[in-house]
């Protein structure tokens, strides 16, 4: 099979990213868009663009039938779903294939086994991968309470169909369990169209470490791990590769677990196996698998030199993975920050508006994957991600200094962004020392003196700091 024309069923920075990869492969691009995205960078860069509906995602980017229709109309032979929207929708994956079009991602069958979080837990257990102590899904609150007592409080209630940090609650004790369970189920039903819940032991001080894999249906390889513990509302905001505190033996075991899991379902495509890592006991536990490209994929590209979107397209076209595990080397350290149009000093209030001027940072080891340009009006209908700033350097210490330098160079006028927050993070001793867990950032935000939002932190090198490498 060859892919000559690729339709991008997404928007924002990931649409731009996919268009760039396709162009480098000599593949024509078709961008579908909503009425709110007429002036988007992706629409400007694509060879063709087709409007598929209104501004709200359920009028456009979530309309699988409209997307498939646009692919047929334009003669596209493949569809890349990006992340979010239809990317983990098993039915869409099958519908695309049934329409005779290549879906750049796993089959609906594999997705059902892995993208549904409760089922993925069971798949992981069968594959011998350690999971967080927890329960199978249950629609009976009373028996769920019995399970919670067995697991021991605090527990987490998770929606099987949840994602993006949504559909998760922490329950501290037995008293609040039942009422929270009913609420969580109703919320999951309305947010994801599926009220199925399951339980996990709440691990208070853990790190989020995830393994990137690539698989062609026969072979599976890993591209090492990413550390994503700096989160707000369970969404990653700063990611690194590799994880600075992971002993080599644990890294090896974790990466092997991810590969075994992928092989156990004959996985085909790019995927991420997410774990919680307890650095005291040096143990790790599977939490979920994302059967798609992830927001933070560029840091893996930076340390391995492998273009993940290009590989996804090759695999979808039926090629075997061209390299062996031993050929995948990692070098240096990479960091990504998610630049959002939000006011970090006012409760992260979304800040749609017009970008009056935009100057991206440049120079050695710096990459900006974004959707903005000077004069661009940010539509208010979608998430507030403006772009991702990625830096690479020989080691973690230099990468943090490079991030601080790049952030100082970045200039966006017209809207508030999370840039000043990251400038402060680059100077936080715990970040510099690599001493953090998934709850660290929210605790740090509470202690932050936000009375001086205009203060520009001095990012000059301070050689007295010790940076974990
Ligand atoms: P990553 O793990 O790649 O950082 P996230 O889990 O944060 O990805 O999700 C990536 C994007 O997809 C975000 O825009 C997120 O809001 C969206 N997303 C993921 N899963 C869902 C879901 N089940 N429902 C709605 N949005 C989702
Ligand atoms: P999503 O599908 O929304 O990405 P995840 O299951 O991956 O949901 O969890 C999101 C985040 O919530 C994790 O990165 C981690 O910070 C936290 N988390 C998830 N499970 C647990 C747990 N059992 N104990 C403590 N924190 C957890
Ligand atoms: Mg997750």
Residue in the block written with tokens 């969580």: 184
For 52-108, write each residue's pLDDT tens digit: 999 999 999 999 999 999 999 999 999 999 999 999 999 999 999 999 999 999 999
CA of 83 to the centre of ligand 1 (A): 7
- Could you say which DSSP state residue 376 is in? P
> Catalytic site residue 20?
no
For 227-244, write each residue's pLDDT tens digit: 999 999 999 999 999 999
Q: Hey, which of 164, 212, 338 would you mutate to test ligand 1's pocket, going by the most ligand atoms within 8 Å of its Cβ?
A: 164
What pLDDT, on a 0 to 100 scale, did the predictor assign at position 467?
A: 55
401-409: long-range contacts at Cβ-Cβ below 8 A with a sequence spacing of 24 or more?
A: 401/459, 401/461, 402/365, 402/366, 403/335, 403/337, 404/459, 405/361, 405/363, 405/459, 406/361, 406/363, 406/366, 407/337, 407/361, 407/459, 408/361, 408/456, 408/459, 409/359, 409/361, 409/362, 409/363
Least confident of 72-81, 254-263, 347-356, 449-458: 449-458
Q: Hey, which of 14, 163, 191 would you mutate to test ligand 1's pocket, going by the most ligand atoms within 8 Å of its Cβ?
A: 163
CA of 77 to the centre of ligand 2 (A): 36
Q: Do 211 and 258 meet the contact criterion of CB atoms below 8 Å apart? A: yes
Ligand 1 atom showing the smallest separation from residue 210 Cα: 2
Crossing angle for the helix pair 90-98 and 64-74, nearest 10 degrees?
30
What pLDDT, on a 0 to 100 scale, did the predictor assign at position 116?
A: 85
Tell which phi-psi region holds residue 15, choosing left (phi > 0), alpha (psi between -120 and 50) or beta: alpha
Residue in the block written with tokens 């026969």: 218
Mean pLDDT along residues 161-165 = 89
For 325-344, write each residue's pLDDT tens digit: 999 999 999 999 999 999 99
CA dihedral 132, 136, 137, 138 (to 10 degrees): -130
What pLDDT, on a 0 to 100 scale, did the predictor assign at position 416?
A: 97
Tell me if 436 CB under 6 Å of ligand 2: no
What pLDDT, on a 0 to 100 scale, did the predictor assign at position 249?
A: 98
Residue 305 pLDDT more than 70?
A: yes
What pLDDT, on a 0 to 100 scale, did the predictor assign at position 1?
A: 84
| 283-290 vs 268-278, strand pairing mode | antiparallel
Ligand 1 atom showing the smallest separation from residue 236 Cα: 4
CA of 35 to the centre of ligand 1 (A): 22
Crossing angle for the helix pair 308-316 and 297-304, nearest 10 degrees?
100
Residue 216 pLDDT more than 80?
A: yes
CA of 69 to the centre of ligand 3 (A): 31
**Predicted TM-score of the model (pTM):** 0.95
Residue in the block written with tokens 């840039």: 419
Ligand 1 atom showing the smallest separation from residue 228 Cα: 4
């Amino acid at each position: 099979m060859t892919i000559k024309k690729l339709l991008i069923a997404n928007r924002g920075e990931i649409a731009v990213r996919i268009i760039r990869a396709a162009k480098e492969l000599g593949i024509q691009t078709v961008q579908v868009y909503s009425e709110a995205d007429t002036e988007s960078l992706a629409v400007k860069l694509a060879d063709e663009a087709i409007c598929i509906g209104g501004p709200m995602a359920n009028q456009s980017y979530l309309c699988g039938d409209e997307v498939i229709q646009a692919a047929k109309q334009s003669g596209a032979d493949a569809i890349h779903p990006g992340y979010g929207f239809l990317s983990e929708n098993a039915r869409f994956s099958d519908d695309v294939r049934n329409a005779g079009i290549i879906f750049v991602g796993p089959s609906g069958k594999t997705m059902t086994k892995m993208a549904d979080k409760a089922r993925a837990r069971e798949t992981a257990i069968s594959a011998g991968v350690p999971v967080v102590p927890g329960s199978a899904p249950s629609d009976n609150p009373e028996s769920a309470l019995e399970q919670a007592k067995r697991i021991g409080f605090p527990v987490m209630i998770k929606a099987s169909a949840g994602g993006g940090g949504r559909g998760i609650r922490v329950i501290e004790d037995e008293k609040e369990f039942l009422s929270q369970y009913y609420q969580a189920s109703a919320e999951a039903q309305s947010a994801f169209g599926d009220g199925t819940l399951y339980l996990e032991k709440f691990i208070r001080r853990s790190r989020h470490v995830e393994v990137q894999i690539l698989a062609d249906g026969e072979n599976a390889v890993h591209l090492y791990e990413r550390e994503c513990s700096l989160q707000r509302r369970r969404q990653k905001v700063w990611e690194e590769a590799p994880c600075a505190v992971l002993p080599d033996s644990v890294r090896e075991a974790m990466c092997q677990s991810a590969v075994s899991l992928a092989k156990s379902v004959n996985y085909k495509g790019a995927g991420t196996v997410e774990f919680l890592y307890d650095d005291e006991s040096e143990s790790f536990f599977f939490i979920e698998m994302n059967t798609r490209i992830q927001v933070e994929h560029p840091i893996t590209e930076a340390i391995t030199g492998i273009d993940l979107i290009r590989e996804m397209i090759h695999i979808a076209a039926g090629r075997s993975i061209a390299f062996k595990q031993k050929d995948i080397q990692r070098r240096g350290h990479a960091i990504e920050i998610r630049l959002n149009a939000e006011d970090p000093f006012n409760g992260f209030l979304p800040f749609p508006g017009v970008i009056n001027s935009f100057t991206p940072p440049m120079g050695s080891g710096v990459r900006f994957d974004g959707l903005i340009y000077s004069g661009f009006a940010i539509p208010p209908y979608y998430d507030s991600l403006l772009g991702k700033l990625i830096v690479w350097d020989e080691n973690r210490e230099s990468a943090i200094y490079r991030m601080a330098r790049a952030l100082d160079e970045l200039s966006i006028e017209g809207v508030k962004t999370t840039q000043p927050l990251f400038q402060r993070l680059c100077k936080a001793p715990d970040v510099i020392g690599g001493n953090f867990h998934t709850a660290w950032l929210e605790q740090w935000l509470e202690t932050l003196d936000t009375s001086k939002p205009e203060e520009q932190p001095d990012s000059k090198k301070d050689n007295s700091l010790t940076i974990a490498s």
